[in-house]
A and B are shown apart, each in its own frame.
Chain A
Amino acid sequence: MTTMTSRLLAGVLVAGLVGSLAACGGTTKDSAGANSGGTQSTAAADPNAAAKQGVKMAFLPKQLNNPYSDIEVSGGKTALEELKGEYKLVGPNDASASSQVSYINTLIQQQQDVIGIAANDSNAVCPSLNQARGAGVKVVAFDSDAARDCRDVFVNQASTQGIGDKLVELASKLAGGSGEVAILSATPNATNQNAWIEVVRADLAKPEHSGLKLVKIAYGNDDDQKSFQEAQGLLQSYPNLKVIISPTTVGIAAAARYLSSSSYKGKVALTGLGTPNQLREYVKNGTVTEFALWKPADVGYLAAYAGVALASGQITGAQGQKFKAGRLGDYTIGANGEIVLGPPTVFDSANIDNFTF
């Protein structure tokens, strides 16, 4: 009898739980459908719709007063001026995971049309962003992606493949098509660095680069002293080294400083990813001929054009949709709502003075 009761009770409880779970799921689905804010945007896009004027777009970078973020959002401002939209900039002073949430909530209340966000934490911002999308706000992630199901599109500064290809292209040019190359990276477990290095390896394995030989990957830990020592080690261990590729801003600046003051200057070439301000000195004194990086201002610029295109109904974030982005030209949305800015820009002595970041 007692077992009977308890079983019955358990059954009721389980049924209740299942019921409530189903109810929860139902609610989520319904609201998502009603607000057309779901993962898969099914709403039809009209590529010929006119770009709306007066679109209110707010930029929420990782953190205010960060020089890199400042340049990124300045591009967004330019784009919104071109599109006759309203630009707004808000953001936290620290780049911690949860610091952006309250700003998103405020932006919803202010009835912005579009939020452009560089997510500090791809998941922490999700509930608020989905709330915003529920209220009809379009969400453009840029620079650093939010989780895929809580933004409409993601503007990526450069694809992993694009960066890796560019690094190999530069190295091959500097080495004259053949010779030993080495990589000076950041830490051995930096995700983006390793992803780029994988592309570099794959490219070097191709027949057209058979003359280039990757002799070592050194890790400078993004520390000046350590990067110096690793660069010294490379130069001592590989007397025939032709090019050092450093895809990290700390590493390339340290290697440039070291090379410029050593007897290897002019004998071993250096390239990689760095900012024009960092490397101006070394381009001018002949240590570095060419290096690459995306233009941060273009990231914000493209994000603003994508935001207005979303708000105007020209795109919904589905793969294959096309839109125009002012002076940057035409863009097509890739898989997972990703829009890639393009190959990185190459800087050399001819153009470096046109850039101040």
Chain B
Amino acid sequence: MNATKAATPRRRMAAPQAIFSTVFKARESGIVLALILLIAFTATRNSRFLSAQSIRDILLGTAILAVLAVGQAIVMITRNIDLSVGSVLGLSAFAVGSLLRDNQGVPVIVALLAGLVLGGACGVLNGVLVRFGQVPALGTLYALRGVNYLWAGGQQINADRLPESFLDFGNQAILGVPWLVLIGLVVLAVATIVLRGYRAGRELYAMGSSPQAAELAGIKVSRNTIAAFLVSGALAGLAGVLFAARFGTIDAAAGTGYELNVVAAAVVGGVAVFGGSGTVWGASLGALLLTVIGSCLAVLDINQFWQQAIVGALILLAIGADRLVASRVARALRKRDSHV
């Protein structure tokens, strides 16, 4: 159903391309519109919502979720789902936290790399299990959390045990942009470029659109699946380091339940659950939207029980819109074919 969309290389079929671009425009502009309405409404109720402090808070909050959502989008595009990201985040946060606690002199860049490597290793494990074991990443959600509990036990890493430089990294900005936000933007930019313009990126869309066709076309599905999980895992590991820097308190339960927020961000951002379509840009917008909703509800003094209901409604809306758009595109293509 979604097969016909993004997987199609842009060079061919000029006419359908117009349909695609309007579809994508519509999809992402919908989120942007929702964002604008939400922010405008909240700002009229409380002008402090648009203060520099508030905007900074929202962007910082979005950065971690967006890094995870970019990874998730890459996996979902291949028609898989990575449910272990919350556990990988927790494991990475605790691992890097204890590394820094025991070695105060470790520079931040080493901490970031350590998180990436650890997360990447978990991602490869996931990819292999999913591809060759035919088991979903749900298993590693629990297994990795178990490892974390076993290792961390009741320990808690507190801010006073973390190096000052690392805690500053969680708050400070370079040229007015907080480090965490900058990292999120770099991740987003690299992923966008690779998925749009490189063969490896296009192959992921092809796999998600039609795994069998992709295999027959000579795409190395196994290798690409593992690579997608590797990227998602590495980004979850990176997010773990950002989490540790931002919150400064880490225990074995860090990141519990994050996977669902991440999937929600990706889906709301237009990444199809059935693979083959969506952008990391959209997923990041989804992350921004969910974060803004959380902040707005807090500012508007709305009962927090509503928050989950609103997120749920947004997901239903996103999936509903996706099905609608997909069937329209399919019909449009059929019509075109019949004329030929």
Q: Which residues of A contact B (CB under 8 A)?
A: 65-70, 188, 216, 218-219, 221, 223-226, 228-230, 232-234, 236-237, 239, 250, 253-254, 257, 261-264, 277-278, 280-282, 284
Contacts and interface: CB of A to CB of B under 8 A. Distances in A.
B48 A219 contact: no
Contacts of B153: 65-67
B299 interface: yes
B155, B170, B247, B298 pick with most chain A CB within 10 angstroms = B298
Contacts of A69: 154
Interface of B is mostly: helix
A216 B46 CA distance: 16
A261 B173 CA distance: 12
A300 to B, nearest CB: 16
Interface string B307-330: 000000000000000000000000
Nearest to B297: A233
B156 interface: yes
Contacts of B154: 65-70
A278 B294 contact: no
Interface of B: 46, 48-49, 51, 53-54, 57, 61, 64, 153-156, 158-160, 167, 170-171, 243, 246-249, 254, 257, 291, 294-295, 297-299, 301, 304-305
A181 to B, nearest CB: 16
Nearest to A264: B53
A236 B304 CA distance: 17
B245 to A, nearest CB: 10
B160 A284 contact: yes
A226 B291 CA distance: 10
Given A67-B154, A262-B53, A257 B249 contact: yes
Contacts of B170: 261
Contacts of B294: 225-226, 229
Given A236-B48, A236-B299, 9 more contacts: A65-B153, A236-B46, A236-B51, A253-B249, A261-B170, A262-B53, A281-B158, A281-B160, A281-B167
Contact of A281 (B64, B159, B171): B159
A182 B170 CA distance: 26
B298 A232 contact: yes
Given A188-B304, A253-B249, A257-B249, A277 B295 contact: no
A66 to B, nearest CB: 4
27 contacts: A65-B153, A65-B154, A70-B154, A216-B301, A224-B247, A224-B249, A225-B247, A225-B294, A226-B294, A229-B294, A232-B57, A232-B298, A232-B299, A233-B298, A233-B299, A233-B301, A236-B46, A250-B249, A253-B159, A254-B247, A257-B246, A257-B248, A263-B53, A264-B53, A278-B159, A280-B160, A281-B160
Interface of A is mostly: helix
B215 to A, nearest CB: 40
A257 B54 CA distance: 16
B158 A236 contact: no
Contact of A236 (B54, B156, B247, B291): B54
A103 to B, nearest CB: 19
Contacts of A250: 249
8 nearest A-B pairs in the assembled complex, by CB-CB distance? A233-B298, A281-B159, A281-B160, A261-B171, A280-B160, A66-B154, A67-B154, A236-B48
Contacts of B51: 236
Contacts of A230: 298
A95 B257 CA distance: 21
B49 A236 contact: yes
Contacts of A226: 294
